[in-house]
Structure 1
Amino acid sequence: MLNQTESRQFNRLDLPCVISYKFPDSEPSYDGECINISGAGILFMGKHMLKNGMALELTIATKNELTKPLRAYVEVIRSKEVGPEQYEVATEIKGIREY
């Protein structure tokens, strides 16, 4: 049942899995950990403080054989330090395609 007091348009799905992120048109990629995903955004942990408005390309590969890997093009909404060299990064999905 949907929580009618929730202000978000989409429910979030916990999706603990490895994620890689890179800047568009750039070779190096960095590993992170996906926390959750919704129809509008992806929340993950990474080792970099990222500026609001930055564009990223994320690759998500779950351990679930039924879920195909995907590539998402996102915009950073916020990035906050939660530990030494650990940042929680909230993003808004701008586009998705199968990997």
Structure 2
Amino acid sequence: MSNIDIHHPHSLAPGQARKAVQEVAEKLAERFGVDYDWAGDTLNFTRSGVDGHIALEPQQLHVTAKLGFLLGALKGPIETEIRRVLDERFT
């Protein structure tokens, strides 16, 4: 099993950061069939082969994901895409 662990700085107000994370979650659900829900300031997401969280922290996001066997082989491209989306939305 492969793990992704990304800390990404941001300067958005809490409400704006939450809205941006919500929009990312909606796109993930639409494109990849990801289920998600909020628990406080943490967005939990899951689908077959992946289980993860996006935690809203003051001035940073903390993205963690556990990738199953098949998706683990794609860890590099998946992590690159996550970083690209974070750069696009949060910098």
TM-score computed with the length of structure 2 as normaliser: 0.28
Name whichever structure is richer in strand by fraction: 1
Name whichever structure is richer in helix by fraction: 2
TM-score computed with the length of structure 1 as normaliser: 0.26
